[in-house]
């Protein structure tokens, strides 16, 4: 019994980090246009089943104005996490976020998985997946303010004050790219598509 348990633990340990494919984490401040850039790439790679655009689970209703995601109440999210439904989960801004466990299989099969992520979740991603590319979407402060104010949740002054209070977590480590999305979405979108193509090439030849 004890020997069996030891073998199971060793097998579980050997399963990580998951190899072969690439996880692309898209990060950046609110208003930078992460969802817009991801949507551009999704359209470009439509029909390519080796590129998976991950549908996250969030404890927030899907209102059509933000990321298209699956929704769970807090208690249901915790239960799902306990049952192993997520490859990775984290909390930010009072919400819980989960990456479906099916992503592990996609990466193990040499596919590319792309998800809107969190800076604070990057260390856990790098522990779980051997190949992680981080793409930071940015925009000029005045552009961020205009986009956030356009959502109608805060006045421009409130938005500027909130942006001024934002503490930026510096990104470190390999595989980090930055895309300025201050201009037309096509410019940033094509840059992101190029990064995904690089990830596909790496998955084919085994180096990134």
Binding-site annotation, residues: 28-35
**Strand 86-92 versus strand 95-100 pairing type:** antiparallel
CA distance 54 to 74: 20
* Cβ proximity of 176 and 195 under 8 Å: no
Give the number of C-alpha atoms closer than 13 A to the C-alpha of residue 57, restricted to the C-beta side: 21
Tokens of 142: 């005045």
Binding site per annotation, positions for ATP: 28-35
CA 73 from chain center: how many Å? 21
CA distance 104 to 192: 22
Sheet holding 57-58, edge to edge: 70-71, 57-58, 95-100, 86-92
Q: Is 91 helix (H, G, I), strand (E, B) or coil?
A: strand
Q: What totals of helices (H) and strands (E) does the chain contain, helices first?
A: 8, 9
Residue 143, Cβ density class (10 Å: 0-12 exposed, 13-18 middle, ≥19 buried): middle
- Adjacent-strand bridge partners of 45: none
């Amino acid at each position: 019994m004890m020997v069996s348990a030891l073998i199971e633990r060793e097998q579980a340990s050997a399963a990580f980090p998951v190899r072969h494919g690439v996880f692309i984490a898209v990060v950046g401040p609110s208003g930078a246009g992460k969802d817009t850039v991801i949507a551009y790439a999704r359209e470009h790679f439509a029909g390519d089943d080796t590129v998976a655009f991950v549908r996250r689970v969030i404890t927030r209703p899907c209102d059509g104005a933000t990321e298209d995601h699956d929704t769970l109440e807090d208690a249901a999210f915790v239960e799902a996490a306990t049952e192993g439904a997520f490859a990775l989960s984290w909390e930010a801004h009072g919400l819980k976020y989960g990456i479906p466990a099916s992503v592990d299989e996609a990466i193990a099969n040499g596919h590319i998985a792309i998800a809107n992520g969190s800076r604070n979740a990057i260390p856990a991603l790098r522990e779980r997946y051997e190949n992680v590319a981080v793409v930071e979407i940015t925009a000029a402060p005045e552009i961020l303010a205009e986009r956030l104010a356009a959502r109608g949740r805060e006045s421009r002054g409130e938005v500027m004050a909130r942006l001024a209070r934002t503490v930026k977590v510096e990104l470190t480590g390999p595989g980090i790219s930055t895309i300025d999305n201050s201009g037309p979405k096509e410019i940033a979108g094509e840059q992101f598509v190029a990064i995904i193509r690089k990830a596909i090439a790496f998955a084919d030849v085994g180096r990134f």
